[in-house]
Homo-oligomer: A and B are copies of this chain.
Amino acid sequence: MTQLNNIVVGLLGFGNIGKGFATVLEENKAQIESTLGCGITIKKILVREPDKYKNTIVPETLFTANADEILTDPEIQIVIELIGGVQPACDYITKALKQGKHVVTANKAVIALHGKELFALADKNSVSMRFEASVGGGIPIIASLTKSLAANEIEEIVGIINGTTNYILTRMDQEGMSFEDALAEAQAKGFAEADPTSDIEGEDAAFKLSILTHVAFGVDVNPGDMPCVGIGQISEKEIDFAKQLGYKIKLLATVRKNGGSLDVHVHPTLVPFEHPLAAVNNEFNALYVRGNAVGELMLYGKGAGPLPTASAVWSDVLEVVKIVRSQIHETNTISIKNGFKPGIIGSGSNAYYIRLQVTDQPGVLGKISTAFGRNNVSLESVVQRGRGGKSVPLIFITHEAEWDRLDAALNEIKKLSTVEEVASILMVQRRS
């Protein structure tokens, strides 16, 4: 056991999260040092232009533009990477690990794209690499999966892990706003970036889902390889149709055991009112987990923001200090669990919500239902909204069906002269 009088850390980046990290230290110093059992000092902070940081909550002498002042300083034991984006963050982390430093990061892109190599590199150098803040902000999902649920076989994780899209969908639902107005409001309130593409199109959620899939199943899925549909096509009308049927529309990131393989996808999904995920509103995130011992578990909280994210970064730092003290290396590598075949990644079987726009003629429903049946897609419910107009919406909710069969049915249905458009295809979440 090493006696530690003081832990010395270096910070890479001093944006919102970096400032949050320093703020939490300033406000909760007594609590943190009592938990640590020793003092903790931020020795250096890497920023692009040190001159710009004259009156922050840390002394201006801490700032440097030279990464090596942190990465090669033998006194610094833990490097905390809060720059974001793949490069130069990934290079810095690599160098820190090679220098025998422990690394804590909040960087979803680096972990999703390069996690596997970095974990192996950390193990090679007998140091720890932690990333609680990379998914779900302040929500302790990584700790829960790796520790609290460690005796469980995980069966399913379903997450609302993008606050921007959840805020937009909530405002559309509760206020009847259009997508554009809700997005503008989210931007005005700081819940959406000036360029919201990565959030809206589901890319941000796919990065995080890739990390969850690695942690829970030991399986690596490139975010770009998973089925991913964003919320750009969701109208307030669709949200209203769903509501009339007893569902909320949420952008869900799902990974689910399906025999020996995994279904992994990001998709707008109808969530039954009584499902705990249906009550997750505004910018909040939630992770719904099913384990074979714990049953259903949901963790709910702030998925972004300087202080919630810093709370998670700090939990990693506190854990790494324990590891430093024990001088026992804990492996960072998560191996493939329960014989999953990492190659088999698909959307599996899902229930779907299908909205067609059809010409209101006798016999139209019969022809469509027949096409579904011929492709072995069975229907849970059918709703026709509006009557007497020439063009009416016709909504089907299917039982669980494989995508190929649904696709074949829809191809037949599209050819029917009375079918104007397959206006919407959404997934439907199982009841909890």
Bound-state Cα–Cα, A297 to B138, Å: 8
The answer, yes or no, to whether A337 is at the interface (CB within 8 Å) is yes
Task: For A27, list chain B residues within 8 Å (CB).
Answer: 153, 292-293
Question: Given the complex of chains A and B, what is the CA–CA distance between A110 and B305 in angstroms?
Answer: 40
Once A143-B143, A276-B300, A279-B279 are accepted as A-B contacts, the answer to whether A151 and B295 lie under 8 Å apart by CB is no
A281 CB-CB contact with B under 8 Å: yes
Chain A 301-333 residues near chain B, CB threshold 8 A: 301-302, 305, 307-308, 310-312, 314-315, 317-319, 322, 325-328, 330
Q: Name A35's contact: one of B151, B298, B317 (CB within 8 Å).
A: B151
Are B338 and A311 in touch, CB under 8 angstroms? no
A336 to chain B, nearest CB (A): 11
Contact A311 B291 (CB under 8 A): yes
- Distance between Cα atoms of A311 and B148 in the complex (Å): 8
Identify which of residues 333-373 in chain A touch chain B, using a CB-to-CB cut-off of 8 Å. Answer: 335, 337-338
Q: Pick the contact of A295 from B143, B302, B337 — CB < 8 Å?
A: B302
Contacts of A338 in B (CB 8 A): 30-31
**Across-interface contacts of A314 in B (CB, < 8 A):** 150-151, 293
Q: Is A140 an interface residue (CB 8 A)?
A: yes
Let me know if A147 is at the binding interface, CB within 8 A.
yes
**Is A294 engaged at the interface, CB distance under 8 Å to the other chain?**
yes
The answer to whether A294 and B307 have CB atoms under 8 Å apart is yes
Q: Is A422 an interface residue (CB 8 A)?
A: no
Q: Judge whether B301 and A295 touch: CB under 8 Å.
A: yes
Q: Is A149 an interface residue (CB 8 A)?
A: yes
A325 to chain B, nearest CB (A): 7
Would you call B151 and A318 a contact (CB within 8 A)?
yes
Report the separation of the CA atoms of residues A58 and B310 in the bound assembly, to the nearest whole angstrom: 46
Residues in chain B near residue A322, CB distance under 8 A: 330
Most-contacted residue by chain B among A291, A315, A327 (CB, 10 A):
A315
Interchain CB contact under 8 A, B300 and A300? yes
Query: Interface range on chain A: under 10, 10 to 19, 20 to 34, or 35 or more?
Result: 35 or more
Within 8 A of B (CB), among A136-158: 138-140, 143-144, 147-153
Q: Which of A259-313 contact B (CB under 8 A)?
A: 274, 276, 278-281, 284, 291-302, 305, 307-308, 310-312
Q: Which residue among A139, A317, A327 has the maximum number of chain B CB atoms within 10 Å of its CB?
A: A139
Q: A425: CB under 8 A from chain B? A: no
| Max count, chain B CB within 10 A of own CB: residue among A24, A30, A32, A147 | A147
Report if A152-B311 is in contact (Cβ < 8 Å); known contacts: A299-B299, A300-B298.
yes
Given contacts A138-B297, A294-B308, contact A35 B279 (CB under 8 A): no
Residues from chain B with a CB closer than 8 A to the CB of A291 are 311
Residue A81, interface by CB 8 Å: no
Bound complex: CA A295 to CA B284 (Å): 11
Excluding A143-B148, A150-B318, A295-B301, 11 further A-B contacts by CB distance (< 8 Å) are A27-B292, A30-B338, A34-B335, A34-B337, A138-B295, A284-B296, A294-B301, A294-B311, A294-B312, A296-B300, A297-B299
16 contacts between A and B (CB under 8 A): A1-B327, A1-B328, A24-B151, A27-B293, A30-B338, A31-B150, A32-B151, A147-B318, A152-B311, A293-B308, A293-B311, A294-B301, A295-B301, A298-B300, A326-B326, A326-B328
The 9 closest A-B CB pairs, nearest first, are: A151-B314, A140-B148, A279-B279, A293-B311, A138-B294, A326-B326, A297-B301, A294-B311, A298-B300
